Amino acid sequence: MTATAAPPFLSFRTARADDVPAIVALVESAYRGDSSRRGWTTEADLLDGQRTDAAAVAELIARPASRLLLAEAGSELVACAHLERQGEAAYFGMFAVRPEQQGGGLGRALLAEAERSARADWHCSAMRMTVITLRDELIAWYERRGYRRTGEYSPFPYGDARFGLPKRDDLRFETLVKPLAPAAALQGVA
């Protein structure tokens, strides 16, 4: 299988403390409010309130075994994702692509870079994530990229406004997992 190449104008880097305001704005625009409805990853029908804030993003940047991966087109931030090493696996979360640029391959390219980084830099053998179970279209997108539903569920943190204000009482997360091929197995794959 051939890996999907990043769009030619895309570059990746690890976030720094001075990136916090831009990351918060990107994540909020992709998940909450009317701006998020321009893309297909919105959670606006499920949740109000914030998706993240400056303190939470700064903490992720400073946390050991954690990396906020940024995708830039020129000097413009267009996508981000959080990676955290958890033993043999890397946790993937806070994945956001500018709503008006969703569907053009940016998310696919950033996900591939996150998987490459987890495998090469941390020697992780799997990538894990949690997704709200009602997000059928998003889960299907991950399944097309090799992620599998585990049947492992966790509750939504109702009552904690840091995670948003639920509009429904049936929210929960399911863990998705993808094995990561060893770096040596990918040599010669273009």
Q: What percent of the chain has pLDDT over 90?
A: 72
**Domains (ranges, CATH) in the chain?**
10-183 (3.40.630.30)
Please report, in tens digits, the pLDDT of each residue of the chain (190 residues total): 344 445 568 999 999 999 999 999 999 998 887 777 887 878 888 988 888 999 999 999 999 999 999 999 988 999 999 999 999 999 999 999 999 899 889 999 999 999 999 999 999 999 999 999 999 999 999 999 999 999 999 999 999 888 889 999 999 999 999 999 875 554 444 4
User: Measured between alpha carbons, how far is residue 28 from residues 161, 171, 178 in Å?
Assistant: 14, 19, 27
Output Rg (C-alpha) for the chain, integer angstroms. Answer: 16
d(CA 98, CA 84): 22
Give helix 54-62 / helix 20-31 axis angle, nearest 10°.
120
**Secondary structure (3-state) at 128:** strand
d(CA 51, CA 160): 11
Contact 83, 115 (CB under 8 A): no
What lies within 8 Å, CB to CB, of 180 at 6+ separation is 115, 118, 119, 124, 125, 126, 127
Kind and range of the H or E run holding 10: strand 10-14
Q: How far apart are the first and last CA of the chain?
A: 9
